[in-house]
Structure 1
Amino acid sequence: MALSARLLTLRNSPVLLKLPPYLSALCIVIGIAWFFILPLNEYSRQTYVSENAILPGQVHTYFGGSEHNVFRAYRQEVYQLSQFSETDRLAALEKVLREIGLKVAAQPYHFTVAGEEVKGTNVYGVLQGPRADATEAMVLMAAWRNFEGEINYSGLALALTLARYFKRWSIWSKDIILLIPADSTYGPEAWVSAYHSTSPDITATRNVSSLPIKAGALQATVALDYPVGPWGHRFDKLDILYDGINGALPNLDLLNTAVAIASGQMGIGCTIHGMLSHSDSYRDRLTTLAKGVVTQSAGQATGPHSAFVPYHVDAITLKTVGDGWHDEMSLGRTTESLFRSINNLLEHLHQSFFFYILLNANRFASIGNYLPAAMLLAGSFTVTALALWVQSGQVAVGPATKMEGTEKNGAQPELEVVKIGDAVALVPAATTKPAEREMLLPAAVVLAVHLASFLPLYSLNSLHRQHLPTALQTTIATSLLLPALASTALTRRSQISTQQIQIMQSFSLLLLGTSLATLATLNFSLAFVVGVLASPLSFVRPLPRGTTTGFPAVLGRVGREYRYALQVAMNLIATLLYAVASPPVVLYALCWYFSQDVGGLLLEMAKGWSVQGVYTSFVIWAVWWPAWVVGGIALCRGGGER
């Protein structure tokens, strides 16, 4: 009976309704702090190869010697091809591949995005493995232009040399495809989408030609990025690029194999995210972690390999960086050993991790360690949503009659008699009573705002590139005015009550929390970044208006007119801070911080949305923006009657 009485006391305690904001803030603080403890040894571990059959670095490589002369001849030929027209260059590349002994084909593609034409032609050749049954294949890729737009002189020459070298070996149990896309972003996307397309109509609707020649299921892809001039240049380290579209990641075994071969067998240092000098300190680990989160949250392609990862084809790019003593022969032997390791596989890479965050080339944090950070941020919105839902179902009641003897040394809480079984207990009297919820108007407002979110989503991904900055500025103006206008209309015409505002916020935050929790399992970085940027929405409440009762007691000594002016100033500051936290303003701030051109960023986002299916724009405008607008409506509504 004592336990039941305590539970009843806790149920009616007003402290419970005051806890959710603190719980929400605690979830946000712990979620962000969790991110900063990931570089510690206790929350990360050394990389290791899970697939024993891959045997990285266990074979002797024979690439070298006379192949160096072949490479220099191909490099000079690539330089001469750079002086030709596109038609002559493509014809010459096809001729070179035929001379090597490959089955050759070409694939033109054409995209129109934001008024800009993206077109080119991919050239590829298939080397049929002497021991292969045409069921599996590996891809060796060297784009004509790398991700920075430079001609990939040495990378393409090395790929041609390796193809000629591989042709002489009889050890291959998988076909090898040499792919030469026109660029490093849209060429690979056109080729891999056509490779996995089973209907010619699908590729035709995207202006992507079907592939006349195909091989087996793609097991892995290795891209070479070595854009030095035609006279050669030595490098210091290999920067391994691995991020795919929408934050998809290749199997960690492929990265571990590349690192083990390059650093262990060839003595080439490996870097991640351009961290050329990594001391393995906490600061360097955290910097690498932050760079990985930013890259993954953007969801854009980071190299020619990115287009393959969403198709469950493990792919990486080996990019030469720095000025050292390693040359093309070192990179060639690394690539040979890597392909021979992939050739050992009896099945697709599956034993290692597909969800991870690298802290350096030899250390990572697994999904079990980093996922709670995003889940706690998503949970903060859910906690606030449930608290608002509970508050919306209660209304305050008048003071109850106090029982004799309940006042001692000041006012005590009113008590009421509650029967528990055959006994009775005195518990604090309830200060609220259940109220019927009016949910039609709040649900309609939330639905209308989410439908309106497709306007900025469509305009910023469909307009001509020269109109994209104007469209973003229009979106900013609309975003800042919409909450105030909607709040005024709802107050004057529909007489929206405080209860309906609470229900509206509850629905919106619940959608935001569940969306981010689901997204965290697919793209942790995007869910974490959006969760941090949207965290103020958990604490948005209607601004006080026409009253000074909510001010601290210390302000009681200030005159009424000064208190009212201070209230107006505080409301103005809160509104300005809320406007700064809007998604379009945050986009402008991020462009300024990373020294990015706003128009260029919007164009890349439009290209990613139209060509590669990058859903970052959808998360920003259809998940985060509606929640911000609904919070703005509640903020501008002001205090009022239920």
Structure 2
Amino acid sequence: MGALSVYPVLLCYDLGLGELAFRFLMREQDALHYYSIIALFLLPSLAKNTYLSENALIPGSANPLFSTEDGIEANRFMKGIEAVVGDSIGGSGIDMANFIAQQIEDLGAEVCYHRFLPHSKHFQPLKFFTSTTNDMVIQPNSTDINFGINTIGIVRAPRGDGKEAIVLVTPYNSQRVQSNELLSLALGFSVFSLLSRAAWLSKDVVWLSADSQFGEYAAVSAWLNQYHNPVFLSHTVTLDTKIYGANHRYDGSSEKKGFKSFKRAGTMAAALIFKVGETRRHGDRDSVMMYAEASNGQMPNLDLLNVIHYLAVHRQGFRVNIAAFSSLLSSAWLRVIAEIFHTLGSVLRKINPDWKLDIMVPDYVEGTANLANSMYNQALGVPTGSHGAFRDYQVDAVSLEFLPTFHVKNENAKSLFLLRGGRLIEGVVRSVNNLLEKFHQSFFLYFLTAPSKFISVGVYMIPFALLLAPLPIVAAALADGRSMEKMVDLVDDSKADGSADILQSKSGSWKWLQAAKVLLVIQLWAVLVSLIPYYITQIPDCTPMQSALIWIMLSIIILIALYVMFGSPYSAGVEWKLLKATMITSISIGLGLMSIINFATAQLGALIVIPMSLFSRPLKASGMNFLPRAVLLASNVALAVLGFPPAMLLIMKGLSKGSWIVDIGDFWVWMEFLWEWSSATYLYIFLVHLPCWLLCINVLLHPCHQPGEAKMKQE
């Protein structure tokens, strides 16, 4: 219904009937906002089942080769690495890397090491969207002992030309190795051992044992950085045992072992990151948690997720899950909405069987919780796992976390798990190996409502389009200084005499330049506020609470200084309608640009800033009865409070974590989290949302006594 409301407007413009389009949007702009909210809540009902678009993938077409013997080899590897960890003193990271490398060499595969430093993230305004190159690579003469070591094994495809590769990643913490991490390494090695003997391989296979003592993402990102940005060293880098103390023991072959030259395979076709999580206490079967969101809302090709889901569920019997907002799963109001949509869908299906909107109540609640989490993670712009490092290089990647229901010491259950997990990974590698080109057939822009259900870009953009469509017309109406109803009447009058110009002010003045000046001043203030954290981070031993308070005080001082230098909105004599028109125009441009960078951020932001801007009206405005004025006042104040960025943090934290307690220091930590990950959401908050909020406050506090207003009322 909401989507159909836009088509007559587009048709009017195509036929040259601009006045009809203008009139339609002016009368229907309130309805469009209601339609957009309804369309947003309808999205879980409109989700489609996933399907494979690329026929070459053919998952499960071949019988798996991973057998119980490979599981036995995984157990042998696990016991060997347990012995290395138990015998080492103070240098288990080096010992584990050497043991893994030795096992890879015994398979006849190529092996190399990658040594990297922890990445010190800090705010760099001039390098916001650019990735630092080679800042985590250790130089030859470095004496820093605080570094991580990745071990890389490469199997050259017997039927390939070395131009493409498939990457398998197994993270582990070399300093505090847990039993589930050892099981992850054993699973990775057993699959790699099988692939080293596979005669059907046409793409190289790279196994990355990522040392995640500084974080899983840091280890993978450092390796990818050097993989795509080579560093040419003048001589071989060696591992000196002296820097680990006299108690560190090596065998003869590993003493003073040199770092082999960094080895590469072909262009990465896909990557799969897998690990074994902690044992669940309850559950009828083992499950797999799938993570796909990367930086700034990027998603891998949907076909990769479809292959994993099909093999995990229909071939190996795993339960596949995605992250959800737990607070929504037990929400009473969401269940009421689900009941309404279910009843309405049942009625519509009786009218037309093709309208399949009668989704079951539990499915709708779970789908909404999954959809909310998917939109939130994309809008946050921060990767949900180390797969995000691959998406920065346009490589499709997914992170899998196996959640077993057995205890690690249960040998029978562990062997069965290794068999099923190995066959799942083998099946994914087989499918990707069948591809003759990169993933491109399926969707890259989508939201997930379930592991097997998605919402495509053609559907989820409808609510956003309905919100954004009337804004330019509303801004034009306000800029003319007339009310919306009067503007629609002028359309009819212009048809009669052909002389009225509805988009040109009667006085022909250039008062809008003053409003544009106010907008530029506020935008300048917003840019300065977004850069202040760079200087605050230079202050030593500054707590988050202190940093946030300094940020707030400096922001207020800068705003006052700019108003003194360039004049405030009130001293410039700007009419509030012109100020509001400028605000709406700025919102339209900002949201439109943001939708290109990260659609989820634009969608969630539009739900807040568009009602806040359209409802804004001076609190001292007259000409209204008591009850409408009280309702308008309450709505304006409520929207202004909810639109304040710290209040947004409270809402997001409450929905995602169920915690409704927040302080000022949490806002600094949240902003620090966004800029450390170079999230475009940080730019949206300070270059789009914050200026809109301040303009809204200026409209609310406007004295509403302008020279031309009385004359306009008489007319």
TM-score for the superposition, normalised by structure 2: 0.70
Contact 1:388-1:502 at 8 Å conserved across structures: yes
2:271 is aligned with 1:221: yes
The within-5 A match list for 1:46-61 is 46-61=49-64
Name whichever of 425-434 and 56-65 sits farther off.
425-434
- State whether residues 109 and 121 of structure 1, in contact with CA within 8 Å, keep that contact through their aligned partners in structure 2: no
Q: 8 Å contact 2:269–2:396 — kept in the other structure?
A: yes
Which digits, 9 at most, give the CA deviation of each residue in 1:114-167, with x for residues without a partner? 49x996343322221112211100000011149x99762221221112112211
Following the alignment from structure 1 to structure 2, what is the Cα–Cα distance between the partners of residues 279 and 249?
28
* Other-structure match for 2:311: 261
The match for 1:446 is 519
CA distance in structure 1 between the aligned counterparts of 2:302 and 2:308, rounded to whole angstroms: 10
Alignment size in residue pairs: 580
Q: For residues 580 and 89 of structure 1, do their structure 2 counterparts lie closer, same or farther at Cα, with a shift above 3 Å needed?
A: same
Partner of 1:154: 183
SS at match of 2:386: coil
The code of the aligned residue for 1:266 comes to Q
Give the corresponding residue for 1:286: 368
The one of 152, 173, 188 aligned to 1:124: 152
Aligned partner of 1:173: which letter? S
Moved more, 430-439 or 316-325: 430-439
d(CA) in 2 for partners of 1:478 and 1:577? Answer: 25
Displacement of 1:376: 2.4
Aligned to 2:341: none
Is 1:358 equivalent to 2:448 in the alignment?
yes
Tell me: CA distance 1:461–1:529, structure 2 relative to 1, closer, same or farther (3 Å). farther
Q: Is the 8 A contact 1:476 1:585 kept in 2?
A: no
Q: What is the CA deviation profile of residues 184-234 of structure 1, one whole-angstrom value per residue up to 9, with x for unaligned ones?
A: 222222222332336879xxxxxxx998222111000011120358xxx99
1: CA distance between counterparts of 2:288 and 2:268? 24
Task: Measure, in 1, the Cα distance between the counterparts of 2:535 and 2:106.
Answer: 44
Report if aligned partners of 2:25, 2:473 keep a CA contact under 8 Å in 1.
no
Work out whether residues 188 and 304 of structure 1, in 8 Å CA contact, stay in contact via their aligned partners in 2: yes
Which among 237, 240, 248 is matched to residue 290 of structure 2?
240
Alignment of 1:58-207 (within 5 A): 58-80=61-83, 84=88, 85=91, 86-100=93-107, 101-114=109-122, 120-145=148-173, 152-183=181-212, 184-197=216-229
CA distance in 1, matches of 2:384, 2:153: 24
Residue number in structure 2 paired with 1:582: 644
Measured after TM superposition, the shift of residue 366 of structure 1 is 1.1
Q: Distance in 1 between matches of 2:502 and 2:516?
A: 33
Q: In 1, distance between residues paired with 2:41 and 2:115?
A: 46
Which residue of 2 is the match for residue 507 of structure 1? 582
Residue identity matched to 1:451: L
Alignment equivalent of 2:572, drawn from 467, 486, 496: 496
Indicate whether 1:368 and 2:458 are aligned. Answer: yes
> Which amino acid in structure 2 is aligned with residue 349 of structure 1?
F
By how many angstroms is 1:492 displaced?
A: 7.2
With over 3 angstroms needed to count, the CA separation of the structure-2 counterparts of 1:553 and 1:165, relative to structure 1, is: closer
CA distance, structure 1, for counterparts of residue 679 and residue 308 of structure 2: 27
Pair 193,630 (structure 1): closer, same or farther in 2 beyond 3 Å:
farther
Identify the structure with the greater strand proportion.
Answer: 1
Deviation at 1:535, TM superposition (A): 2.7
In structure 2, the CA distance between the partners of 1:417 and 1:275, relative to structure 1 (3 Å rule), is closer
TM-superposed deviation, 1:497: 2.3
The match for 1:300 among 382, 397, 403 is 382
Residue 534 of structure 1 corresponds to 609
Question: What secondary structure is seen at the aligned counterpart in 2 of 1:536?
Answer: helix
Task: Report the CA distance shift for 1:486/1:590 in structure 2 as closer, same or farther (over 3 A).
Answer: farther
Q: 8 Å contact 1:454–1:621 — kept in the other structure?
A: yes
Partner Cα separation in structure 1 for residue 193 and residue 546 of structure 2: 52
Which amino acid in structure 1 is aligned with residue 58 of structure 2?
Answer: L
Contact preservation (8 Å) 1:111, 1:119: no
Distance of aligned partners of 1:200 and 1:600 in 2 relative to their CA distance in 1, 3 Å threshold: farther
The answer on 1:615 being equivalent to 2:618 is no
Supply the distance in 2 between the matched residues of 1:364 and 1:219 (Cα, whole angstroms). Answer: 23
- Confirm whether residue 327 of structure 1 aligns to residue 392 of structure 2: no
Q: Secondary structure at the match of 1:125?
A: strand
CA contact (8 A) 2:612 2:639 kept: no
- Provide the residue aligned with 1:32 in structure 2: 37
Aligned mates of 1:56, 1:504 — CA distance in 2: 58
Whether the 8 Å contact between 1:484 and 1:633 is mirrored in structure 2 is no
Matches within 5 A, 1:359-398: 359-391=449-481
Give the Å deviation of 1:57.
0.6
Unaligned runs of 5+ in 2: 1-16, 124-135, 137-145, 234-258, 330-359, 407-412, 709-715
**CA distances 1:250-284 after superposition (whole Å, capped 9, x unpaired):** 11111111111111222222222269999972222
Query: In the alignment, which residue of structure 2 is the partner of 1:624?
Result: 689
Task: Give unmatched runs, 5+ long, in structure 1.
Answer: 1-9, 202-208, 397-412, 556-565
Inter-CA distance 88–491: structure 2 relative to 1 (3 Å threshold) = same
Q: Which residue of 2 aligns with 1:470?
A: 546
How far the C-alpha of 1:589 sits from its partner, in A, is 4.0
- The one-letter amino acid paired with 1:167 is S
User: Is this contact kept in 2: 1:248–1:309, CA < 8 A?
Assistant: yes
Deviations 1:42-70 (A, max 9, x none): x3322111111111011111212222222
**1:180–1:297 Cα change, 3 Å:** same
The alignment partner of 1:327 has SS state of helix
- The structure-2 alpha-carbon separation of the partners of 1:98 and 1:455, relative to structure 1 and needing over 3 Å to count, comes to farther
Secondary structure of the equivalent of 1:262? helix
Query: Does the Cα contact within 8 Å between 1:483 and 1:636 map onto a contact in 2?
Result: no
Cα distance in structure 1, aligned partners of 2:222 and 2:666: 22
State the distance in 1 between where 2:113 and 2:502 align: 82
Q: Which amino acid aligns with 1:362?
A: S
**What's the offset of the Cα at 1:349?**
1.0
Greater mean deviation of Cα atoms: 183-192 or 477-486: 477-486
Percentage of pairs with the same residue? 22
Provide the C-alpha distance between the structure 2 equivalents of 1:341 and 1:66, rounded to a whole number of angstroms.
Answer: 23
Superposition CA RMSD, Å: 4.4
| 1:406-440 per-position Cα deviation (integer Å, ceiling 9, x unaligned) | xxxxxxx99x99998xxx89999999824312344
- 3-state DSSP class of the match of 1:140? strand
Distance 1:570 1:35, change over 3 A: closer
Q: Which whole-Å CA distance do the structure 1 matches of 2:381 and 2:502 have between them?
A: 54
Cα 1:550–1:79 shift into 2, 3 Å: farther
SS in 2 for 1:624: helix
- Partners in 2 of 1:298 and 1:417 — Cα distance? 49
**Are the counterparts in 2 of residues 540 and 631 from structure 1 also a CA contact under 8 Å?**
no
Alpha-carbon separation, structure 2, partners of 1:211 and 1:601:
45
* Change beyond 3 A, Cα 1:626–1:427: closer
Any conservation in 1 of the 2:290–2:401 contact (CA below 8 Å)? yes
Does structure 1 residue 336 correspond to structure 2 residue 426? yes
